[in-house]
């Protein structure tokens, strides 16, 4: 695996592959890799000849400076995991490589940044689109792979790709879970043993909603899920919603055949967790 830290050296490395008409995939990450990321690398290897993974803890998508400061950065372990996974290139730039002085960025996200994650993390998706656009420009991939766990982020990136007519394919890969069902996340390392058990209430509730989605009114289903989570020990709920998976708007019973997704965010053990489940 080649490791490069500048856009110029990355482009020099990719040019022969591009000239040979090889297909290039990008897996953008913030490091602190786990098996969910490795599943993205494996998926990318099936779709392309050359897989680039980027590791960059992007400051513009953190609205809490303490969260940015606490974000884990085990780079040696990440490099070892990527080598074992058969990644071809690691792009590992620093902040000065990716950002100039006083850069301005604003993209019309069609309201996607005003609901759920966008509502609770103001400015977050502007930061996400800003860095993802920079990574797309640096790598110029044929395909980019993202995880379903960050479903709203995927919809935001999809919106940007369509709006700016960026010539690449997006792939959403299924959420990878711990054996007991907890969605894999770099933040899970901050959970105590008790916190991990308490966090299972999120996935359990999502599963109940999926099991009952055909039998119950969506409003009632959502209200019951909220009540269940609010009564779960150690869980401080931020939101629970049932959305149309295509339009990313709140779902109702008027169109029973629409694809639905249930999404949840909650604080457990001082850690903010998100999860979701496609309901059919």
pLDDT, mean of residues 29-49:
97
Measure the CA–CA gap between 127 and 98, rounded to whole angstroms.
12
Residue 195: per-residue pLDDT: 98
Residue 105 has pLDDT above 80, yes or no: yes
pTM of the model: 0.96
pLDDT digits 0-9 by tens, 82-91:
999 999 999 9
43-49: long-range contacts at Cβ-Cβ below 8 A with a sequence spacing of 24 or more?
A: 43/145, 43/171, 43/173, 44/143, 44/145, 44/171, 45/86, 47/23, 47/143, 47/145, 47/171, 48/22, 48/23, 48/24, 48/141, 48/142, 48/143, 49/17, 49/22, 49/23, 49/24
Helix (H) / strand (E) containing 229: helix 218-230
* Three-state secondary structure of 68-136: HHHCCCCHHHHHHHHHHHCCCEEECCCHHHHCCCCCCCCCCCCCHHHCCHHHHCCCHHHHHHHHHHHHH
| pLDDT score recorded for residue 127 | 97
Question: Average pLDDT for residues 22-43, to the nearest whole number?
Answer: 98
Return the pLDDT at 52.
Answer: 99
CA distance 56 to 116: 24
Least confident of 32-46, 59-73, 162-176, 230-244: 59-73
Average pLDDT value for the chain: 96
Structure confidence at residue 255 as a pLDDT band (50, 70, 90): confident
Rounded average pLDDT over 152-158 = 98
Is the pLDDT reported for residue 70 higher than 90? no
Distance, CA of 216 to CA of 111 (rounded, Å): 28
Tokens matching residue 59: 């400051």
Residues marked active site are found at: 37
Residue 64 pLDDT > 90, yes or no? Answer: no
pLDDT for 66 equals: 87
Per-residue pLDDT band at 257 (split at 50, 70, 90): confident
Query: Residues 6 or more apart from 193 whose CB is under 8 A from it?
Result: none
Containing 18, the helix (H) or strand (E) segment is helix 7-19
What pLDDT score was predicted for residue 150?
Answer: 98
Q: If DSSP codes are grouped into helix, strand and coil, which group holds residue 203?
A: helix
Structure tokens, 61: 């998508």
Contact present, 218 and 252 (Cβ < 8 Å): yes
Check whether 254 has a pLDDT greater than 80.
no
pLDDT tens readout for residues 202-235: 999 999 999 999 889 999 999 999 999 999 999 9
Per-residue confidence at 153, pLDDT binned at 50, 70, 90?
very high
Q: What is the structure's pLDDT at 63?
A: 85
């Amino acid at each position: 695996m080649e490791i490069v830290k500048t856009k110029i050296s990355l482009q020099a490395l990719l040019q022969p592959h591009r000239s040979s008409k090889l297909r290039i995939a990008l897996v953008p990450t913030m490091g602190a890799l786990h098996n969910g990321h490795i599943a993205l690398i494996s998926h990318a290897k099936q779709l392309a000849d050359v897989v680039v993974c980027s590791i960059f803890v992007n400051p513009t998508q953190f609205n809490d400076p303490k969260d940015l400061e606490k974000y884990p950065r085990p780079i040696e372990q990440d490099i070892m995991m990527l080598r074992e996974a058969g990644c071809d290139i690691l792009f590992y730039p620093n902040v000065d490589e990716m950002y100039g002085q006083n850069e301005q960025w604003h993209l019309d996200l069609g309201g996607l940044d005003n609901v759920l994650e966008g509502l609770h993390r103001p400015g977050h998706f502007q930061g996400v689109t800003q860095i993802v656009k920079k990574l797309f420009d640096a790598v110029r991939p044929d395909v980019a792979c993202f995880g379903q766990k960050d479903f709203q982020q995927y919809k935001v990136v999809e919106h940007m790709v369509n709006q700016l007519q960026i010539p690449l394919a997006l792939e959403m890969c299924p959420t990878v879970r711990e054996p007991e069902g907890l969605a894999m996340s770099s933040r899970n390392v901050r959970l105590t043993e008790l916190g991990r058990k308490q966090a299972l209430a999120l996935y359990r509730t999502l599963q109940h909603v999926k099991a009952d989605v055909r039998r119950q009114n969506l409003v009632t289903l959502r209200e019951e899920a909220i009540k269940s989570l609010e009564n779960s020990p150690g869980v401080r709920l931020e939101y629970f919603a049932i959305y149309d998976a295509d339009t990313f708007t709140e779902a109702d019973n008027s169109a029973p055949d629409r694809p639905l997704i249930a999404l949840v965010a909650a604080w457990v053990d001082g850690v903010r967790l998100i999860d979701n489940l496609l309901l059919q």
